[in-house]
């Protein structure tokens, strides 16, 4: 299976960033990798083992990337200990019963 990637231009559009500004590109791609990993952990399946990269999963990943980008400093009031409800609602439908 091909490697799953979220295009940088879509990430920038979601985060309302100018495409010509490349300062945070590496950071954003790192957040994309993290979002894909958290998604797979939350669902309990892997993309390389049959999990389809659906539009709902992609939107959840974009939301997670935006959350990480907006709260990139350690000193924040945001509670990042668990996946927010909106993202969970997009991803949870793909979980198998019994996967925790």
Interval 61-75: pLDDT, tens: 999 999 999 988 865
Q: Report the CATH number at residue 68.
A: 1.10.3230.30
Q: Is residue 2 part of a domain?
A: no
Residue 93 near residue 56 (C-beta atoms within 8 A)? yes
Residue 100 lies in a domain: no
Q: Angle 95-6-16 (CA atoms, 0-180°, nearest 5)? A: 110
pLDDT in tens, 36-54: 999 999 999 999 998 999 9
Selected residue with higher pLDDT from 73 and 78: 73
Domain tally, the chain:
1
* Per-residue pLDDT at 1: 45
């Amino acid at each position: 299976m091909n490697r799953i990637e979220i295009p940088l231009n879509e990430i920038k559009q979601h985060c309302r960033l100018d495409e010509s500004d490349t300062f945070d590109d590496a950071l954003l791609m790192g957040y994309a990798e993290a979002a894909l990993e958290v998604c797979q952990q939350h669902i309990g399946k892997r993309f390389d083992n049959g999990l389809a990269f659906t539009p709902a999963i992609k939107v959840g990943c974009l939301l997670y990337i935006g959350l990480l980008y907006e709260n990139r400093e350690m000193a924040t009031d945001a509670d990042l200990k668990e996946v927010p409800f909106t993202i969970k609602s997009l991803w949870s439908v793909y979980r198998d019963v019994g996967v925790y």
